[in-house]
Amino acid sequence: MARVWLVKSEPDAYAYDDLERDGRTAWEGVRNYQARNFMRDEMREGDAVLYYHSSTDAPGVVGVATVASAPYPDPTQFDEASPYYDPKSTPDAPRWVLVDIAPLRRLPRVVTLQELKADARFEGSLLTHRGTRLSVMPMDEAHLRAVEEMAQRAPAD
DNA sequence: GCCAACGTTGGC
DNA sequence: GCCAACGTTGGC
Protein backbone atom coordinates (compact mmCIF):
# COMPACT_ATOMS: atom_id res chain seq x y z
CA MET A 1 0.00 0.00 0.00
CA ALA A 2 1.29 3.41 -0.97
CA ARG A 3 2.26 5.68 1.84
CA VAL A 4 1.51 9.34 2.39
CA TRP A 5 4.17 12.00 2.86
CA LEU A 6 4.31 15.74 3.22
CA VAL A 7 7.00 17.94 1.74
CA LYS A 8 7.54 21.60 2.50
CA SER A 9 8.67 24.18 0.01
CA GLU A 10 8.86 27.92 0.09
CA PRO A 11 6.72 29.08 -2.82
CA ASP A 12 9.27 31.80 -3.62
CA ALA A 13 11.84 29.06 -4.12
CA TYR A 14 9.76 26.33 -5.76
CA ALA A 15 5.98 26.53 -5.70
CA TYR A 16 3.43 23.91 -6.70
CA ASP A 17 3.01 25.98 -9.90
CA ASP A 18 6.65 25.34 -10.70
CA LEU A 19 6.16 21.62 -10.19
CA GLU A 20 3.19 21.61 -12.58
CA ARG A 21 5.18 23.59 -15.12
CA ASP A 22 8.14 21.21 -14.90
CA GLY A 23 6.07 18.02 -14.85
CA ARG A 24 8.47 16.50 -12.36
CA THR A 25 11.46 17.57 -10.34
CA ALA A 26 14.32 16.17 -8.29
CA TRP A 27 13.61 17.07 -4.67
CA GLU A 28 17.10 18.43 -4.18
CA GLY A 29 18.70 20.29 -1.34
CA VAL A 30 17.36 18.33 1.62
CA ARG A 31 20.18 18.46 4.18
CA ASN A 32 18.58 16.94 7.21
CA TYR A 33 19.37 13.34 8.05
CA GLN A 34 15.92 12.39 9.24
CA ALA A 35 14.32 13.77 6.09
CA ARG A 36 16.97 12.06 3.98
CA ASN A 37 16.32 8.76 5.69
CA PHE A 38 12.64 8.96 4.83
CA MET A 39 13.47 9.50 1.17
CA ARG A 40 16.23 6.94 1.06
CA ASP A 41 14.67 4.16 3.10
CA GLU A 42 10.92 4.52 2.98
CA MET A 43 9.68 6.48 0.00
CA ARG A 44 8.56 4.39 -2.94
CA GLU A 45 7.40 5.30 -6.39
CA GLY A 46 3.66 5.92 -6.34
CA ASP A 47 3.48 7.16 -2.74
CA ALA A 48 1.27 10.21 -2.27
CA VAL A 49 2.84 13.54 -1.31
CA LEU A 50 1.04 16.47 0.27
CA TYR A 51 2.67 19.59 -1.15
CA TYR A 52 2.99 22.26 1.50
CA HIS A 53 3.93 25.92 1.12
CA SER A 54 5.93 27.29 4.04
CA SER A 55 7.19 30.73 5.00
CA THR A 56 4.32 32.43 3.27
CA ASP A 57 1.24 34.45 4.19
CA ALA A 58 -0.98 31.47 4.80
CA PRO A 59 1.18 28.37 5.04
CA GLY A 60 -0.64 25.20 4.08
CA VAL A 61 -1.20 22.30 1.70
CA VAL A 62 -1.76 23.39 -1.88
CA GLY A 63 -1.66 20.20 -3.89
CA VAL A 64 -1.08 16.48 -4.07
CA ALA A 65 1.97 15.06 -5.76
CA THR A 66 3.50 11.63 -6.08
CA VAL A 67 6.90 10.03 -5.67
CA ALA A 68 8.09 9.53 -9.24
CA SER A 69 11.41 7.70 -8.89
CA ALA A 70 13.46 5.41 -6.73
CA PRO A 71 15.91 7.15 -4.38
CA TYR A 72 19.21 8.28 -5.89
CA PRO A 73 22.09 10.58 -4.88
CA ASP A 74 21.32 14.30 -4.88
CA PRO A 75 23.57 15.67 -7.65
CA THR A 76 23.79 19.11 -6.07
CA GLN A 77 25.97 17.75 -3.26
CA PHE A 78 28.84 17.35 -5.76
CA ASP A 79 28.32 20.70 -7.48
CA GLU A 80 30.68 23.31 -6.08
CA ALA A 81 28.57 26.06 -7.59
CA SER A 82 25.44 24.87 -5.81
CA PRO A 83 24.31 26.24 -2.47
CA TYR A 84 23.74 22.60 -1.54
CA TYR A 85 27.33 21.60 -2.23
CA ASP A 86 28.70 19.31 0.46
CA PRO A 87 32.50 19.05 0.39
CA LYS A 88 32.38 16.08 2.73
CA SER A 89 30.33 13.96 0.36
CA THR A 90 31.88 11.86 -2.38
CA PRO A 91 30.32 10.02 -5.35
CA ASP A 92 31.59 6.78 -3.82
CA ALA A 93 29.79 7.47 -0.57
CA PRO A 94 27.08 10.01 -1.28
CA ARG A 95 25.66 11.52 1.83
CA TRP A 96 22.45 12.97 0.42
CA VAL A 97 19.74 11.10 -1.39
CA LEU A 98 16.56 12.29 -3.04
CA VAL A 99 13.56 11.17 -5.06
CA ASP A 100 11.75 12.76 -7.98
CA ILE A 101 8.34 14.25 -7.35
CA ALA A 102 5.57 14.77 -9.90
CA PRO A 103 2.33 16.75 -9.53
CA LEU A 104 -0.99 14.91 -9.37
CA ARG A 105 -3.65 17.54 -8.66
CA ARG A 106 -3.88 21.02 -7.27
CA LEU A 107 -6.36 21.34 -4.42
CA PRO A 108 -9.44 23.53 -5.06
CA ARG A 109 -8.06 25.82 -2.36
CA VAL A 110 -5.20 26.01 0.11
CA VAL A 111 -5.83 24.08 3.30
CA THR A 112 -3.98 26.19 5.81
CA LEU A 113 -1.86 25.13 8.74
CA GLN A 114 -4.25 27.08 10.92
CA GLU A 115 -7.13 24.86 9.79
CA LEU A 116 -5.12 21.71 10.20
CA LYS A 117 -4.18 22.68 13.74
CA ALA A 118 -7.86 23.27 14.51
CA ASP A 119 -8.94 19.89 13.12
CA ALA A 120 -9.00 16.97 15.52
CA ARG A 121 -7.92 14.59 12.76
CA PHE A 122 -4.47 16.19 12.81
CA GLU A 123 -3.92 15.93 16.52
CA GLY A 124 -0.68 14.11 17.04
CA SER A 125 0.47 14.53 13.44
CA LEU A 126 4.07 15.55 12.90
CA LEU A 127 3.01 18.60 10.92
CA THR A 128 1.05 20.22 13.71
CA HIS A 129 3.46 19.14 16.40
CA ARG A 130 5.22 22.12 17.91
CA GLY A 131 8.86 22.24 17.02
CA THR A 132 8.78 19.91 14.04
CA ARG A 133 10.93 21.44 11.35
CA LEU A 134 11.22 18.46 9.07
CA SER A 135 10.87 19.32 5.40
CA VAL A 136 9.95 15.73 4.54
CA MET A 137 7.71 13.85 6.92
CA PRO A 138 5.39 10.84 6.99
CA MET A 139 1.66 11.40 7.25
CA ASP A 140 -1.28 8.99 7.38
CA GLU A 141 -3.71 7.92 4.69
CA ALA A 142 -6.42 9.51 6.84
CA HIS A 143 -4.58 12.84 6.66
CA LEU A 144 -4.61 12.75 2.88
CA ARG A 145 -8.35 12.03 2.86
CA ALA A 146 -8.98 14.76 5.43
CA VAL A 147 -7.04 17.38 3.47
CA GLU A 148 -8.88 16.53 0.26
CA GLU A 149 -12.21 16.67 2.04
CA MET A 150 -11.38 20.02 3.67
CA ALA A 151 -10.32 21.46 0.32
CA GLN A 152 -13.80 20.72 -1.05
CA ARG A 153 -15.54 23.00 1.36
CA ALA A 154 -15.13 26.56 2.55
CA PRO A 155 -12.69 27.16 5.41
CA ALA A 156 -14.42 27.05 8.77
CA ASP A 157 -13.23 29.92 10.87
C1' DG B 1 12.10 41.03 11.68
C1' DC B 2 11.64 38.28 15.88
C1' DC B 3 12.44 34.32 18.20
C1' DA B 4 11.51 29.46 19.79
C1' DA B 5 12.92 25.11 18.75
C1' DC B 6 15.93 22.22 17.10
C1' DG B 7 20.22 20.25 14.56
C1' DT B 8 25.13 20.50 13.81
C1' DT B 9 29.80 21.62 14.82
C1' DG B 10 33.94 21.59 17.14
C1' DG B 11 36.84 22.49 21.27
C1' DC B 12 38.02 20.23 25.15
C1' DG C 1 31.27 12.16 24.87
C1' DC C 2 29.83 16.69 26.68
C1' DC C 3 28.03 20.92 25.71
C1' DA C 4 28.33 25.84 24.26
C1' DA C 5 28.07 28.32 20.21
C1' DC C 6 26.21 28.80 16.08
C1' DG C 7 23.07 28.14 12.09
C1' DT C 8 18.54 27.08 10.26
C1' DT C 9 13.64 26.55 10.04
C1' DG C 10 9.40 28.50 9.83
C1' DG C 11 5.32 30.46 12.20
C1' DC C 12 3.89 34.69 13.63
Q: Is the CB of A113 under 7 A from strand C?
A: yes
Confidence of residue A117 (pLDDT cuts 50, 70, 90): very high
What are the pLDDT digits (tens) for A6-37? 999 999 999 999 999 999 999 999 999 999 99
Residue A100 pairs in a beta bridge with A26
What are the pLDDT digits (tens) for A36-64? 999 999 999 999 999 999 999 999 999 99
User: What's the CA gap between A30 and A40, in Å, rounded?
Assistant: 11
Q: Is the CB of A134 under 7 A from strand C?
A: yes
State the greatest distance between any 2 C-alpha atoms of chain A, in Å, as a whole number: 53
CA atom of A34 to C1′ atom of B7, Å:
10
Percentage of residues in chain A having pLDDT higher than 70 = 99
User: What's the CA gap between A120 and A43, in Å, rounded?
Assistant: 26
Nearest Cα residue to A50 out of A98, A97, A99, A3: A3
Residue A155 confidence (pLDDT) above 90: no
- The upper half-sphere exposure of residue A7, i.e. CA atoms within 13 Å in the direction of its Cβ, equals 33
User: Residue A14: which H helix or E strand, with range?
Assistant: helix A11-14
SS3 A41: helix
- Contacts of residue A117, defined as CB under 8 A and 6 or more positions apart, other chains included, come to A128
Which residue's C-alpha is at the least distance from the C1' of C10? A55
CA atom of A3 to C1′ atom of C2, Å:
39
Using a 7 Å cut-off to protein CB atoms, list the covered nucleotides of chain B.
5-8
